[in-house]
Amino acid sequence: MAEKRKIWKTGKGTFVVSLPLEWAQMVNEKYKGEVYVSQFKEKVYVFPAAELTGLTGDLTVTCDDETKLESQIIAAYLANYGGLYIRFQENLGNVSRLEEKLREVSNKLYGTNLARISAREFFLSMSVAENPIDRVLDRIHFLCEEIYKESVDKMVSIPLSGKELSEKLVHIRNIEMDTDRTSFYSKRLLTYSLLNPESSKRIGIEDVRDVIEYYVIISNFERLSDLELELFEILVKLNDQVASTKTTLKLSLSSPGYGLKEYYEDAHKLLDKAYLGIKDEQSALEVLRSKNAVDKETNIEYRPGFISLENKKKLLDFIKSKPFSEWLILMEQRIWGMTGIGTNIAEAGRNIKYKPPPTREQPPFMI
């Protein structure tokens, strides 16, 4: 609730205005009394020091493009901006749809708070809470595991209840959105740690060179959640196709020999081992030693130690033997892509643990 207060002139160029007592006491205790003061036209905003962690930028929206608006806000967030003044130009007319997108993006980013200045002006504050990088990685790994668990259990017997699958799809999309939020927050945290070296050590990064490796790991988990969502969306479409035949046809994606369900399970064993490899070099090496192999006779790709050539052959025969095999091929492609993500995570994890010292023989990097 707004309160009217008077500005007092106390010196030649000094003006003073009182602040709400409870707010001032809270800032004094929690943030050591440090604040940022930001001016925009005739308005002034006061934030606790921890609430504004970087630059304050201006964004004038000149076109009715929701995607561009979202990209610009996310770019400022990842670049460690502490706040963003957003103005919609008069020639845009009704901006209710853009305002809705603005609120949607704000909800998508951890540590943001959207305040209305006027009918066409907003201020988006962006804070960053320091969390141990290990805890952040645990969170994003947990979310990817949740999508996997929700999906793999549905591969036993198709068709399933359309309503049940639709509800499950909404749930998985929400988890995937949470993965995106965690990914954006993680990248902002890493940028913040680069700009504030003392923060790096507080969140568990001893060597600044590790930041790029953590960035690679987080980006790959973000891509993993995308593939897992795509996999489930394909499963839903397959379910609809089977149900539309209006027969007693039952399609199982599992097989005592080796089916898609078993393939998905083995791919996630590789991913779990890759995640362990962030802290355990032997686990990382186990994944890296299983890099894609190709059988010369059949040109079939496999992963020694996780997905054998024999099992890959069984899987391909399994797919060929099933109706609607075109959907199964799409699912196989998504799962195979996940194994490549495991390699990327393991490689970045090993790089965190092992860094060969530079030698004089190495040529200088030129731009």
Domain boundary residue, one of 92, 126, 160: 126
Domain residues for the domain of 39 are 19-126
pTM over 0.85: no
- Residue 40 shares a structural domain with residue 112: yes
Tokens 């699958």, residue located: 165
- The C-alpha angle 345, 346, 349, rounded to 5 degrees, equals 85
117 and 185 both lie in a single domain? no
> What is the pLDDT at residue 356?
62
> Please, which residues have CB within 8 angstroms of residue 348's CB and are 6 or more apart in sequence?
213, 214, 216, 217, 220, 278
Looking at residue 279, its pLDDT comes to: 92
Task: State which of 70, 93, 126 marks the end of a domain.
Answer: 126
Last residue of some domain: 126, 147, 164? 126
Verify that 91 and 148 share a domain, yes or no.
no
Residue identified by tokens 């604040």 is: 35
Task: Please indicate, yes or no, whether residues 175 and 258 belong to a single structural domain of this protein.
Answer: yes
What lies within 8 Å, CB to CB, of 350 at 6+ separation is 277, 281, 284, 285, 288
249 and 342 belong to one structural domain:
yes
Answer whether residue 365 is part of any domain: no
Written as one string, the DSSP assignment of 167-220 is HHHHHHHHHHHHHHHHHHHHHHHHHHHHH-HHHHHHTT--STTHHHHHHHHHHH
Q: Is residue 144 located within the same domain as residue 86?
A: no
* Predicted pLDDT at 51: 46
pLDDT along the chain (367 residues), means of 10: 73 77 76 63 62 60 83 91 86 84 92 87 87 96 96 89 90 96 95 88 91 96 98 95 83 93 97 96 95 93 95 96 95 97 97 69 52
- Domain check: are 153 and 101 in the same one? no
Residue 5 included in any domain = no
Domain shared by 306 and 270, yes or no: yes
